Structure 1
Amino acid sequence: MKRIVVIGHGGYAEGIKQNLDMIVGKPENMYFIDLTREDDLADLEKKVDGLLESFNDDEVLFACDLLGASPFRVAAMACVNHPGKYYTVAGLNTMAFIELSIESDLSIEEWADRAIETSKTALVKFPE
């Protein structure tokens, strides 16, 4: 099974969850973790590790708010410990999250690539 873990600062993950719930319903394969003001890096690592333990041997795609920030670093370390099974992306937009909410036959790496490409193609300027 493939799982997506949305992780970010403040209410980022909860905001994505509410956004998706309004548009497509609650995604079955997505999980949401926020780094709060009260959390330190160890707290965030515990939240992530606790969730990952419940996944058994599933593939995981982390979707983080900011490249290089604490949530990204925690996710990246999990990827280092699970090469080829875990991937991390950052900066996705709503279109990409909608696509990720739909089950896919793509590999976890292909899914990560598609989410990034979807974010890129959904960017527009109006009027052109």
Structure 2
Amino acid sequence: MDYMSVVQKEMQLNTEEISELKSFMERLISESQKEGIHFSESRKIAVAAHYISLIRRLKAGEYLPEMDLSAVKSQLDGKIMDIALKSAEPIFSKYNLDVDEREVILIATHIGAAKEEQNKSEINSLEEGKL
């Protein structure tokens, strides 16, 4: 089962959410691939679930609690933050809201995790080739 089917089933998505999620994931994956970052199916599920939660919070007028994410942000590559921002901007625009940097940082952590996962996989492949 592909990641969209898993998320759709587990989070009981409506038609509008499916459409918004597809657009977001296409932007996210496209922008990430430009930087050589690829998502595993499990990573796609995680970021898709996060994005659906974001959409639902915005629709309900709810926001993340105040939190200091400066330490997290300082660990993230600027390109990863740019990808997260480009991916998230349209949903904030749709609801006529300013982009919430906390949400962008949390999306960026998913991208960073995908990059780390990919790097570890590449290192393991290299090590296996040497044995």
Decide: shared fold, TM above 0.5.
no
Higher relative contact order (CA 8 A, sep 6+): 2
Rg larger for:
2
Q: Structure 1-normalised TM-score?
A: 0.29
Higher helix share: 2
Higher strand share: 1
